[in-house]
Amino acid sequence: MREILFRGKNKHDGKWFYGFSVLDKNGQSWIFTGEVLSSFSMAGEWSRTPVDSDTVGQYTGLRDKNDVKIFEGDIVKGHYYKAGVRKRLVGKVAFGYNGWIIEGLKQYKGTAERLTVSYEIIGNVHENPELLEVE
């Protein structure tokens, strides 16, 4: 069984919140945190925080090489092998090809590499977009 978890950045103070994500009928995203007994019951202690919808991302179920949880929208660096040659890759974590991938940069010829635990988080697209700029 895998952990289902989302994160989103609070609209007011920029703080990250972790829990489960809900989009209301007005298009507002919320992160619910606390103890929820089941997905069918809101019994227990919980709170909700309004978050910027553009920052909501799902936990991949993987941790990076430093044991940090990897979320959709994180920027990671690492390497992969192509034809026996080691290649460096920096890219954004996204869902694609029926699994979590790293969307590579133009300098890497649009490589989309499968996400593994050998990568390291160096930021995220919401706070560090400059990390994805081609030098």
Predicted pLDDT at 106: 43
Burial label, 102 (beta-carbon count in 10 A; 0-12, 13-18, 19+): buried
Q: What span, in angstroms and rounded, lies between the C-alpha atoms of 29 and 19?
A: 12
Q: Which CATH number fits domain 60-132: 2.30.30.290, 2.30.30.60, 3.40.1400.10, 3.30.365.10?
A: 2.30.30.290
Tens of pLDDT along 3-48?
889 999 998 999 999 999 999 999 999 999 876 545 555 556 778 8
Tens of pLDDT along 102-120?
887 544 444 556 677 678 9
The pair of three-digit structure tokens given for residue 94, joined into one six-digit string: 């996204």
Q: What span, in angstroms and rounded, lies between the C-alpha atoms of 98 and 115?
A: 12
The answer to whether residue 91 scores a pLDDT higher than 70 is: yes
For the chain, what are the domain ranges?
Answer: 6-55, 60-132
Question: What single-letter DSSP state applies at residue 41?
Answer: B
Residue of 106 and 95 predicted with greater confidence: 95
Q: Which of 111, 96, 100, 10 is nearest to 59 (CA)?
A: 100
Mean pLDDT, rounded, for 90-97: 85
